[in-house]
Amino acid sequence: MAEQLPCPDLYAGYDAGHYTLPDDVLKARETYRGIEAIPWPEPPRNAWETVQDVAVATVDAVHAGTKLPDIELIEKARRAERVYQDALDMMGSCLDIAAQRARETLRDHALLIVTGHLRPAHDDTWQTYQAAYRTLAEHGETESRRLLTAPTKVRKASDTCDLLAERYSAIRAAHGDLVLRYGLRCDDDPTGKYAAIRNYHELHPTRWANARPGWHGMSTRHYLDWMVQHGGQLWLPTPDEQAQAVKAESHIGQPFSSRAA
């Protein structure tokens, strides 16, 4: 089976218009798709069927006293099968090569994608979300099901929060793709606590592995609401920045602290 394009979530978020990607990354995908769009050859007639046809034609010719069929028809049928299989193998190799080049391009641009493309979209999303949420908070209600009779400004703010929650999810999924595939993990943060929240232990001051944070199990929309309410510092860090955040909060939430949950 031919290789598939890497990082499907990254490409999906781009296609949905949530963020940009480097030209080289897009060109590599375009090349893969161009190869993928080339029509595959139609399979030829099975050579064994041709053998049977020639055999029947030979018996008929002997019976009728006519010219014997061309035995080369069998070799032509086998040659057609070989050419067809070669074409399939070649097309599979083309897809493998194009996918490999796409992977290499993503690897070369992984950090740039985070800092120059995903991060600007993330920060814009988070800032705009906070502003929209404040409009809801000033109204006194944040649940969209209770805003049917609310002023237009308030209902628009709720719709904005819904759209931005979707965008936020797409950005996080894209970042997760890159982290998993291209070595953007932070060794100082093996469980990824600071991959999304700069002040993780300020919000959840315990080191117990089984202690669930206050936002555990929430939908993206409610998670973002919770972060606005509690001063969450959402971000999209590089591994080095993530390590710095771990160090900055290393004094918070020791396992035997009286604040531990």
Ordered by start, the domain boundaries in the chain are 8-103, 185-261
What distance in Å separates the CA atoms of residue 181 and residue 179, rounded to the nearest whole number?
6
Per-residue pLDDT of the chain (261 residues; tens, 9 = 90+): 567 899 999 999 999 999 999 999 999 999 999 999 999 899 999 999 999 999 999 999 999 999 999 999 999 999 999 999 999 999 999 999 999 999 999 999 999 999 999 999 999 999 999 999 998 888 766 676 656 556 777 788 889 999 999 999 999 999 999 998 998 899 999 999 999 999 999 999 887 878 899 999 999 999 999 999 999 999 999 999 999 999 999 888 655 444 444
Beta bridge partner(s), residue 197? 234
Predicted model pTM: 0.83
Taking the CB of residue 12, how many other CB atoms lie within 10 A of it?
14
Helices (H), the chain: 8-15, 23-37, 47-64, 72-112, 119-139, 152-181, 200-203, 220-230, 239-248
Taking the CB of residue 36, how many other CB atoms lie within 10 A of it?
15
Q: Identify the DSSP state of 206.
A: -
Return the residue matching tokens 């067809």: 84
